[in-house]
Structure 1
Amino acid sequence: MVIEEIVTNIKDMKKEEVENYHIEKVYLESADLMKRIQRVKTDHGKEIGIRLKNPRDLVAGDVLYKDDKNLIIIDVLADDLLIISPRSLNEMGVIAHQLGNRHLPAQFEENDMLVQYDYLVEELLQELQIPFKREERKVREAFRHIGHSHG
């Protein structure tokens, strides 16, 4: 089976509707969410090719396949993250500037900044005394590096 487009996302389906399906999951690392072409295997051992026609990242909950009884959806493996919780706008500005200089991609959930674990960033946060914790957590989308050069 080759998947060329995403059917929907499970969050856009009604809960009662989802309960009527047998669900298989494809577990991906967050970095694999950016790959348009890949071969994957469901948690039931079914091999699937993904070759998306439209250039877009996969997102947790994307439905790859749907028939009368079955759904195959994307799930994401947990990443090793630093969850940064600045106490003020000043702390957010300082750490955002520091991480921006390192070209580290970040995601935001409410008042927290999430970055993939890096021991140098951990040392920086300790030095700046900005509150953080290290945690294994699933993210919905890939950490995307933004192309930039200092030319």
Structure 2
Amino acid sequence: MTRPVATKVAFEDGWKAADTITLDETARYRRRMVMTSDNGVEFLLDLGEARLLRHGDGLVLDDGRVIEVHAAPEKLYRVAAQDPHHMLRLAWHLGNRHCPSQIMEDCMLIRRDHTLRAMLEGLGAAVTEIEAAFDPEGGAYGESHGQHGHHHGHHHD
């Protein structure tokens, strides 16, 4: 028996998931690989290009089933600023270090790194250790992170 193949990602609501697959942010950046769902369905992911699979995306199998992507909790820092201008300064410093960051209205999330924590606290940021799904911004030069541009409105704190 051949394993099913997922060649497209569904973003719209309206499909019913047959199963889920829970992956951290690094494991969600994929193009082609054999994957196993949370309930043991083995399938081949075979997308046209590498992309970040977002929490809530559906991997459409060639047999019609959909495997819903779940973002696994990761060890992160929640970075809060004193005001909007301070947030811009903090974001600039993280961007200058090419640090993947999830930017939200009132904070940023980054992977834990003691050197970055010391820098951010030295700049006046409030840094808190959390465990949450990580969904960083995509790159400006053609990276596929975030190409479909939807958000599911979930919060991480």
Q: TM-score range with shorter-chain normalisation?
A: 0.7 to 0.9
C-alpha displacement of 1:75: 0.9
Q: Residue 116 of structure 2 corresponds to which residue in structure 1?
A: 121
Match of 2:8 among 5, 10, 22: 5
User: Tell me, what secondary structure is at the counterpart of 1:35?
Assistant: strand
Higher RCO structure, 1 or 2 (CA under 8 Å, sep 6+): 1
- Pairing partner for 1:83 from 52, 75, 78: 78
Q: For residue 31 of structure 1, what is the aligned residue in structure 2?
A: 26
Residue 52 to residue 131, structure 1, CA distance change in 2 (3 Å)? same
1:135 Cα deviation from its structure 2 partner: 0.5
User: What is the deviation of 1:88?
Assistant: 1.3
Contact 2:5 2:44 in 1 (8 A): yes
Gaps of 5+ in 1: none
**1:91-130 alignment to 2 at 5 Å?**
91-130=86-125
Q: Secondary structure at the match of 2:52?
A: coil
Q: Find the aligned partners of 2:32 and 2:137 in 1 and give their Cα distance.
A: 18
Identity over aligned pairs, percent: 23
Q: Is the 8 A contact 2:103 2:137 kept in 1?
A: no
Aligned partner letter, 1:3? A
Cα distance in 2 for partners of 1:81, 1:135 equals 5
In structure 2, C-alpha distance between the alignment counterparts of 1:48 and 1:71, rounded to whole Å: 11
CA contact 1:33–1:142 (8 Å) conserved in 2 = no
Cα distance in 2 for partners of 1:144, 1:104 equals: 11
Query: Which letter maps to 2:106?
Result: N
Structure 2 residue 29 is the aligned partner of structure 1 residue 41 = no
Provide structure 2 residue ranges, at least 5 long, that are not aligned to the other structure.
142-157
- Structure with greater helix percent: 1
Q: Which residue does 2:59 correspond to in 1?
A: 64
Secondary structure, aligned partner of 1:30? coil
Q: Deviations over 1:92-151 (max 9, x none)?
A: 133123212211121112221111111111112222231121111013x3565667xxxx
TM-score, with length taken from structure 2 = 0.73
> C-alpha offsets along residues 63-88 of structure 1, whole Å, 9 cap, x if unaligned?
11379x95421111112111111121
| Aligned-CA RMSD value | 2.7
Give the length in aligned residue pairs. 138
